[in-house]
Amino acid sequence: MVRSRNYISVSKNEDLFLLSLPDCVSLSEKGGCIFLRISKCRGKGCSFMKSRNELKEGQTRCMHRIANLSLDEQMRISRMYYGGKMPWNDLTAVD
């Protein structure tokens, strides 16, 4: 066995397989998908594939959209999902 980055590979074929996979935030160390809970990545044709930049941009768009809601809606969302905090207020102060 050969130690390689954060995992121990079983064979050189497995290393080549992992290198051929796209840069996706949901890719597991064994080549599976964390979001879909499958053991083998579907590759670039997967509709759930996102790079780190795409994920961050999506989160930023989401926060801007929440910031544009009424204060009542913002408070309801902050209590339900963010423990009463409003992280989108920090974003709007920077922009």
- Asked if pLDDT for residue 73 goes beyond 90, the answer is yes
Q: How far is the C-alpha of 68 from the C-alpha of 77, rounded, in Å?
A: 12
Which of 35-44, 53-62, 66-75 shows the lowest mean pLDDT across its residues? 35-44
How do residues 9-19 score in pLDDT, each as one tens digit? Answer: 555 555 567 77
> How far apart are the two ends of the chain, measured CA to CA in Å?
50
Placement of tokens 């709007």 in the chain: 92
Choice between 84 and 11, residue whose per-residue pLDDT is larger: 84
How do residues 26-46 score in pLDDT, each as one tens digit? Answer: 988 888 899 888 888 888 888
Q: Return the pLDDT at 7.
A: 52
